[in-house]
Structure 1
Amino acid sequence: MHALVDAMSERITLLANMGYPLAKHLAVYRQMLEVSLVNGQASGLSDTATYKEFEMKKRLLNQLTVQESSEKKAIVLAANYGYVDQVMTTIKSICYHNRSLRFYLIHSDFPNEWIKQLNKRLEKFDSEMINCRVTSEQISRYKTDISYTVFLRYFIADFVQEDKALYLDCDLLVTKNLDDLFATDLQDYPLAAVRDFGGRAYFGQEIFNAGVLLVNNAFWKKENMTQKLIDLTNEWHDKVDQADQSILNMLFEHKWLELDFDYNHIVIHKQFADYQLPGGQDYPAIIHYLSHRKPWKDLAAQTYREVWWYYHGLEWTELGQNHHLHPLQRSHIYPIKEPFTCLIYTASDHIEQIETLVQSLPDIQFKIAARVIVSDRLAQMTIYPNVTIFNGIHYLVDVDNELVETSQVLLDINHGEKTEEILDQFANLGKPILSFENTKTYEVGQEAYAVDQVQAMIEKLREISK
């Protein structure tokens, strides 16, 4: 038995180093120790060194179990069942990079069966979901005629037991381990958050964004913050611009600790923030899709859209394969290689030879971008798996920059108005620009083909893409 106990001890150490959940292995290990102690005592071996060693290991294991149960990181989500797909995608992204989590889902209509099934999956990550269904008594404290579901995060202190909790909106993703964020010293601040650079740019307000909140829950409980937030909402709900975010900023004005933009990278605010990706990261730590251009909506162009779909498509078995809890890398999304990409930037749905090019070059990705709303004729091109439409991207500077950066060739093959700054950017970068003679109206050194030489353009693209 001594050899078996030692072998299990080594196995647990190995699994811990690889980031695997240990609950089941520790339970077996405890049973082995208990059986060994009972047998040792029955055999009169209670004074031996081995018996005393096993006693010590059991004491340490009991202490570890108590410590682990209290050290799960508390993460709060608030949504109703209509948002189930987004909730699950957010949870998947968190579990891919983190272990030992206690999720609190504040809601009013998630089926209990859904939460039970999720808990079976979370168990493998040493994690769990707490069902926080709001009651009629809690809702009765809320006197406005606006749906209380908008303000579910107010109830954090009613449900969460831990002294510190991370609230996350469900239109965001986590792309790395959150231990450093949880280690933030909140001091005496009620919460920590990221500055809302849109509030500064558009309204001249120095406020925080409420989509990511590291909450000092001990303070919230002591000061009865839930009731204070509800009272403020009852008084001010019809006088503020941004619902619960405005109320939270009223209550905690000048009383919040600022976090780095990396922890709430609002995709439409990057242009206002002095932000560079930290070393070792291919993506921001938390990507927040704060706009009407949600990545799960058809033709809704936005930066990092492909990241949301990556996490959405992950199977639960794949989540557990990130043993060392590495941050998300581009090689995860593109495991073989990033696709060779041609950009077409247009204001018209009249694009010369587009279907011939797309059908002839299935291994090349075609990105068709427009600052206007695209027609049904152009949207129909998405039936081809190698076509992506970027629809109505006027003023989305970061989307433009991403398109230029990730495209290897510009196809100047649209009729009508040209987007000259995009043509100039490709020319300045020395990237190839291919055109047809009947579509070239702005000279930047394009390689032009007669319209009946589409096969020659196809062969050129094959050559460049090798």
Structure 2
Amino acid sequence: MGNKGIKGRDVLVWQEPLHDSLPGNMQLILKSPEIRTKKILIPQNATYHRALQLTSQDQHASFGPLGYLYDFKVKDDIRKDAFVLTNSDQIEALTYLVESLPDVTFRVAALTEMSASLLSMVRYPNVVLYQNISQERIQELLKISSIYLDINHYAEVQGIVRKAFEHQQVILAFSHTVHDRTYLAQANIFEQGKEADLVARIKEIYQSVDRYKEAVAQQISQSSSIDPAEFKAYLLEGIGGQVE
């Protein structure tokens, strides 16, 4: 549009990782002062700092942080309920977790009918299964559960990890089952075969309300979450406006 003589101040919002070099569109912005795009805003904290590492000091003014806005739900109470939503009966270490944590209720749900092997888990008193689960019941389980276990193999179901994050559940996973690391604290991702460490982490989280809140705060902190006022300030600065 600048080439057509239309004046303005544009912003590039960059939401992909940066590796060993800047992409071509960023390089063009930095090398071409005549074009309309004057600011590159980067929501993810680590990516923003990587951009600064890849550029010279005099180019840093072209970049700005932004962050993400999340629709966090109020968590009324903390319950020893762990939720899993799956379309597979391949749920890593489920039997071990159930047997190791008898005081935790494991609520396992599927959008379809379950296999015989998964249905056999009802032999444990602390397992509740939900076949052909409705969207209303999924919302209910998101509200009542305090932990989400991202331990099912194959595809993530309906963006459930972000939904659990916004419901302020503590999310735990194995490194080979995790579907979206954006919403997990690194301390809550365990290597394959380290199910005992995952059990220990769950016990630690449930030691007190403060421990639980610390775990939630830790995963929110690493997610580049930001409050609306800060988001507005960063965005207005990027487009050359002023905060009202």
TM-score (normalised: structure 1): 0.27
TM-score (normalised: structure 2): 0.50
Q: From the CA coordinates, give the structure whose radius of gyration is larger.
A: 1
Structure showing greater relative contact order (alpha-carbon pairs closer than 8 Å, 6 or more residues apart): 2
Hey, which of these two has a bigger chunk of helix by percent?
1
